[in-house]
Structure 1
Amino acid sequence: MFQFLHAADLHLDSPLTGLARYEGLPADEIRNASRLALDRLVNCAVERGVRFVILAGDIYDGSWRDAATGLYFASRMARLRQAGILVYLIQGNHDAESVMAKSIRLPENVHVFSGRRAGSAEVPDVAAVVHGRSFATRATETNLAVQYPARVEGRFNIGVLHTSLSGFEGHDSYAPCSLDDLASKGYDYWALGHVHNGQILSRAPYVVYPGNLQGRNIRETGPKGAYLVTVDDGLRVEDCGFVALGSFQWRRLDVDLSGCASVKEMHARWEDAFRELRSAEPDDSPLIVRVRLTGATALQAMLQGQTDWKLDLRALATDVGAEQLWLEKIELDLAPVSAPLDLTGPMSELTEAIQRAASDPEIAAKADLQPLLQKLPDDVRGEVAEWLRTDGPRYRRLLEEVESMLLTRLAGQGGAQ
């Protein structure tokens, strides 16, 4: 019996943008998170006494040129060497354009597969053989799996491949192939990389994406880590279990404010939602959360027209989370509570003006908002522009929210004076 660890997509020191905009977010800890995750991987390998570690590509992050990143990776590999643990590594699409992947010398316990052709490496003192091929160029769009060597009989055969398979949403189509292509090789385990969502796609043979080692943004939510694989004396997978190694997790949280009529009640709902989220994490790992407030509430105008309440929400998150829960962003998806309003006189004129803007795009076209849009950060500008597209689905909804807020304020309702 023997064990090995399968990880991928470390993206060491991947630059994270936009963090400074979110008050209270531990930006320095986030920037070091990929290194901490690698440390945890190495510690896990040593503590479990695995025979080898497989890294299925994207060790680095593209053209990131800080040599300290490469030296740090080499030092972690050296620690595995001291523990007698081998490493089998392929270079993924990001590594193919990385200066460090080409220039940093790695310890002799690390076997890096060639990018010219697929090759095989027998594991010393273990009945296992590893097959793999690195990316020679970033845009590798050919089916590499069909070029892999034949199965070696009497050995536990592992294929290491950086691939999008037949296509995963949000991932570039690199080294595309099918599950049938993989199964046809007769290997016992396919150690894949590239897709950042960890999952076991098949158990006959095992086809596994470990996901990335550490989530880097709100699109990469939940636990991140590697798979610990146990192979029995009959050269069959006895166990294939996920091991969480990320130093923190990204989470999304919806808080329903439907029917909420007071600030006190709103605070109570926030607190309940935070405590439920926190209690669902058995390991007390730090969480960075994007909150979305939903539902029809009399507080809608106040929440959209003021900002002070956001400080209360951040303070509550810090309190409930014992400084292990931070808010990355707060989104509003609220609707007003229908209430009879006196729509005579000026109120009627206001309603008619907004309805004309909703039905006549030429009215909106007269307002040149480009100078204002250019002042917004890059990652916000596109979203705001989408809301202001008069032919888009969000424009009418935006006007409805503006109408509700103005009418509520003018009527002195919803907590707004």
Structure 2
Amino acid sequence: MLPKLTFIHAADLHLDSQMEGLTAAYPAMKSRLQDSTFQSLKQLVQCAITNKVDFVLLAGDIFDSNRQSLKALVALREAFKELQKHSIDVYMQYGNHDFTGKKPMMKYTNNVHIFQSEKVDTFFYEKNGEPAAAIHGFSYTTRHIKSRKALEYQSKGDGIYQIGMLHGSLGTGSAADVYAPFSVDELKQASFDYWALGHIHKREVLSEQPPIVYSGNIQGRHRKESGEKGCYLVELEGQSCAMTFLPLQDIRFETVDVEVKEGTALYEVEQAVLDSCINWEDAFGEAVLHVIFHGPAHLLMRWSQEERLEELLEIINEQQQNLGSQLILAGFSVQATIDMKEELLLERNDFTAALYTTTYSENEMTHSLEELMGNRQFRKIKQSYSQEELQEMLEEAKQLLLQTLLEVE
């Protein structure tokens, strides 16, 4: 009979990641955020020890870059040492961020098993002196892998658990499939007991039988990576699998909404946000918030253009800091209501109406950003934009142009 196995599935630690969108954060919080991935790593280690797991799976992008800082290397080494004290093994693969084509810069303890190449390899885990699991995986040695690595996984060993580790994304059939693309059916064909996925920063269960699971990252890095972040505690026993999500984030990223009504004064908005901070802190604890202001376009656009909203957040941050609050308002955006019914606008036969009905595609936006993305200094801050981010920028640009035109008519 198969023994019970308990393990942690984590991925995308992105140690030493450069946090994004912190222009409104005061220096102490910036420093704290830069350290958050390391604090989340410590939380992961403690969860493994507390739950007395057999081993830990780290499914790629352990580091934020393939040029790891000494701080990140040492932090991981010390984490592994702590796990070794409790006889916990680690199985680790590198992803597209920390791809390595050369000898690692750090020597880790002998409880650590690293997939070294892009060829799917296997480690065997023993429990009570008997083989209990075959753990399969590979590492990126270049930034992109276009081949369907999922087809290379094969069971090894009889009467033991088969566990796959794969850092990649669901295939779309497009040229964008450069991160070991796979399909759920391809993974199911391997007849494994558990698939530990990495690369996508949002936790998601793609299949329950067998479990094919993204654990997400362990610490959010910007407002698009909101909510609880962490790992899965997995218990395999025979044909059954139980999964428990364990939050690990040191600081949460969240988006909050503030409604602004016609005729509202700026000082009234300040008080409304301050009052809301109490509820936000109760809900999220220590958190970095992105505020979305909703309301009349003529009001919000003017405040935004005059930098009144940015100043408002700075003032509230100072007040919150003096109160010992665990919140930081790190940025804002505006979702304004145009003071004209859409059907009336569409009836017009002028330039303003033509602009409103003009479609500017994501492909055109991507082309417009090519020069900016080609700048090496900018790529240190932002490597790419998601479709959601492109669409958001398109809507904001369209709204701003339309409001400006209506104001000068």
TM-score where L is the length of structure 1? 0.75
Answer yes or no: is the 8 Å Cα contact 2:301–2:336 preserved in 1.
no
| Mapped pair 1:107 → 2:109 | yes
| Mapped pair 1:132 → 2:137 | yes
Describe the SS at the equivalent of 2:187. helix
Q: Cα offset for 1:299?
A: 4.1
**1:296 maps to amino acid:** P
Residues 106-129 of structure 1 show CA distances to partners (whole Å, capped at 9, x for unaligned) of: 110001123152222221216322
Q: Cα offset for 1:44?
A: 0.8
Of 201, 210, 217, the match for 2:206: 201
Tell me the equivalent position of 1:226: 231
Answer yes or no: is the 8 Å Cα contact 1:257–1:269 preserved in 2.
no
Tell me the equivalent position of 1:330: 332
| Mapped pair 1:147 → 2:152 | yes
Describe the SS at the equivalent of 1:174. coil
Q: Cα offset for 1:163?
A: 1.0
Answer yes or no: is the 8 Å Cα contact 1:260–1:298 preserved in 2.
no
- Structure 2 residues without counterparts, runs of 5 or longer: 341-350, 357-371, 386-393
Tell me the equivalent position of 2:264: 261
Higher alpha-carbon Rg: 1
Residues 120-142 of structure 1 show CA distances to partners (whole Å, capped at 9, x for unaligned) of: 22212163221112223221111
Answer yes or no: is the 8 Å Cα contact 1:226–1:244 preserved in 2.
yes
Greater relative contact order structure (CA < 8 Å, 6+ sep):
2
Which is further off, 180-189 or 9-18?
A: 9-18
Tell me the equivalent position of 2:96: 93
What number of residue pairs does the alignment pair up?
Answer: 360
**1:303 maps to amino acid:** W
Tell me the equivalent position of 2:60: 57
Partners in 2 of 1:268 and 1:226 — Cα distance?
38
Of 80, 84, 107, the match for 1:77: 80
**2:296 maps to amino acid:** A
**1:201 maps to amino acid:** L
Answer yes or no: is the 8 Å Cα contact 2:12–2:60 preserved in 1.
yes
| Mapped pair 1:319 → 2:335 | no
Describe the SS at the equivalent of 2:288. strand
Describe the SS at the equivalent of 1:29. helix
Of 165, 170, 184, the match for 2:170: 165
Describe the SS at the equivalent of 1:123. strand
Residues 225-259 of structure 1 show CA distances to partners (whole Å, capped at 9, x for unaligned) of: 11111223x3521x201111010111112222133
Answer yes or no: is the 8 Å Cα contact 1:64–1:98 preserved in 2.
no
Q: Cα offset for 1:178?
A: 0.6
Answer yes or no: is the 8 Å Cα contact 2:298–2:403 preserved in 1.
no
Partners in 1 of 2:327 and 2:69 — Cα distance?
30
Partners in 2 of 1:301 and 1:133 — Cα distance?
50
Tell me the equivalent position of 2:240: 236
Describe the SS at the equivalent of 1:34. helix
Partners in 1 of 2:190 and 2:201 — Cα distance?
24
Answer yes or no: is the 8 Å Cα contact 1:42–1:80 preserved in 2.
yes
Tell me the equivalent position of 1:291: 291
Tell me the equivalent position of 1:4: 7
Partners in 2 of 1:258 and 1:111 — Cα distance?
58
Going from structure 1 to structure 2, the CA distance change for 1:395 and 1:309 (only over 3 Å counts) comes to closer
Going from structure 1 to structure 2, the CA distance change for 1:289 and 1:193 (only over 3 Å counts) comes to same
Going from structure 1 to structure 2, the CA distance change for 1:290 and 1:396 (only over 3 Å counts) comes to closer
Which is further off, 44-53 or 322-331?
A: 322-331
Answer yes or no: is the 8 Å Cα contact 1:257–1:294 preserved in 2.
yes
**1:326 maps to amino acid:** I
Answer yes or no: is the 8 Å Cα contact 2:255–2:289 preserved in 1.
yes
Answer yes or no: is the 8 Å Cα contact 2:24–2:313 preserved in 1.
no
Identity %: 29
Partners in 1 of 2:288 and 2:5 — Cα distance?
36
Tell me the equivalent position of 2:42: 39
Describe the SS at the equivalent of 2:400. helix
Tell me the equivalent position of 1:119: 121
- Structure 1 residues without counterparts, runs of 5 or longer: 339-353, 360-372, 384-391, 408-417
Tell me the equivalent position of 2:361: none
| Mapped pair 1:68 → 2:71 | yes
Describe the SS at the equivalent of 1:240. strand
| Mapped pair 1:250 → 2:282 | no
Partners in 2 of 1:301 and 1:16 — Cα distance?
27
**1:96 maps to amino acid:** F
**1:332 maps to amino acid:** V
Describe the SS at the equivalent of 2:97. helix
| Mapped pair 1:185 → 2:190 | yes
Answer yes or no: is the 8 Å Cα contact 1:116–1:136 preserved in 2.
yes
Partners in 1 of 2:259 and 2:403 — Cα distance?
18
Describe the SS at the equivalent of 1:95. coil
Going from structure 1 to structure 2, the CA distance change for 1:120 and 1:257 (only over 3 Å counts) comes to same
Partners in 2 of 1:305 and 1:23 — Cα distance?
20
Partners in 1 of 2:314 and 2:5 — Cα distance?
47
Answer yes or no: is the 8 Å Cα contact 1:121–1:131 preserved in 2.
yes
Going from structure 1 to structure 2, the CA distance change for 1:68 and 1:278 (only over 3 Å counts) comes to closer
Q: Cα offset for 1:355?
A: 6.8
Partners in 2 of 1:60 and 1:264 — Cα distance?
44
